[in-house]
Structure 1
Amino acid sequence: MAQEDQEINYFVRVLNTDLDGTKSVIVALTGIKGVGRHAAQIIAKAAEVPKHELIGKLDEASVDRIREVVNTYAERIPVWMTNRPKDVYTGAPKHIIGSDLSLTNEDDINILKKIRAYRGIRHETGQKVRGQRTKSTGRTGLIVGVKRKTT
């Protein structure tokens, strides 16, 4: 009964991200950019916390273990599991987590624009980048429909 009366932390801070304390450990960890469900399971197992327990009900020592495992996650996983298998500058495999992920993504797009790659030009003009059809979908702007000829 003491477990049920335990106070719950509604926000748990991990890697500059506020996680929802009312969710299980696995679901809450997916709130960090660069951490999916599979990575969250690996983190929970390495931190030795129950993965279906609410993250807000964990004690401070367990949350500290989660923080430590998240910080060292890139060294714990094989190369094929990283989200950046070959870095542009160093050539080494990296797994980028948190706010660094959005900054790295913006840098990559800026590099593509700078070297005038096809994908960079598509990003600049706001068109589809990955080869989708653009004849009938992805239209933006004021004109949407087809105008009829007036006779």
Structure 2
Amino acid sequence: MSQQFKYVIRMFGQDIDGTMKLPYALATVKGIGYNTARAIIRNLNLDSNLRLGELSDSDIKRIEQQLENKVISNVPSWMYNRRKDYESGTDMHLVTSDLIFYARNDIEREKKSKSWRGVRHSIGLKVRGQRTRTTGRVGYTIGVSRKKVTQPTSSSSSQKSG
């Protein structure tokens, strides 16, 4: 039973290059890093040296189902990208638009509560204690302004002799 190689595979709502090796292909998805991809591959007993395009449709569905319920089995909780969720209190691993949605909600919650981080977010300044005196500047660069140099006028040449 020979399968046809697929050059583009649709996973998690985005197109992924089928010529990439499996861990690197999964790491292109937002919310999945290389180590998380290796853990998923190990849980599903897949070969990490395979190309993504060599997988069968059932293997691709198994990978998507692994993250569908926001929990990766047989993985320690420190590997999840959202631990102790604010609303539910559970450990979750989010990918793609879910990750963006939860991060945006966290920022909005901090803005509403007027916490230090929320105020910094709303002003548009750095949040994590970085320096702001010289870096992080946005807008037009002004530079140094000089006085306009004028040529000296010679009063002797402009007067008529006579």
TM norm structure 2: 0.79
Q: Where do residues 1-150 of structure 1 align in structure 2 (5 Å cutoff)? A: 7-72=4-69, 74-76=71-73, 77-147=75-145
Displacement of 1:146 in angstroms is 4.4
- What runs of 5+ residues in structure 2 fail to find an aligned partner? 149-162
Aligned residue type for 1:145: G
Distance 1:149 1:112, change over 3 A: farther
Deviations 1:1-28 (A, max 9, x none): x97xx64312212222322111111001
Distance 1:69 1:90, change over 3 A: closer
- What runs of 5+ residues in structure 1 fail to find an aligned partner? none
- Higher-Rg structure is 2
Q: 2:92 and 2:54 mapped to 1: Cα distance?
A: 32
Displacement of 1:115 in angstroms is 0.9
Question: In terms of mean alpha carbon deviation, does 89-98 or 71-80 score higher?
Answer: 71-80
Contact 1:43 1:69 in 2 (8 A): yes
The root-mean-square deviation of aligned C-alpha atoms, in Å, is 2.3
Distance 1:144 1:24, change over 3 A: farther
* Total equivalences in the alignment: 148
Q: 1:38 and 1:59 mapped to 2: Cα distance?
A: 23
List structure 1 segments (4+ residues) > 6 angstroms apart after TM superposition: none
What percentage of aligned pairs have identical amino acids? 37
Aligned residue type for 1:59: S
TM norm structure 1: 0.84
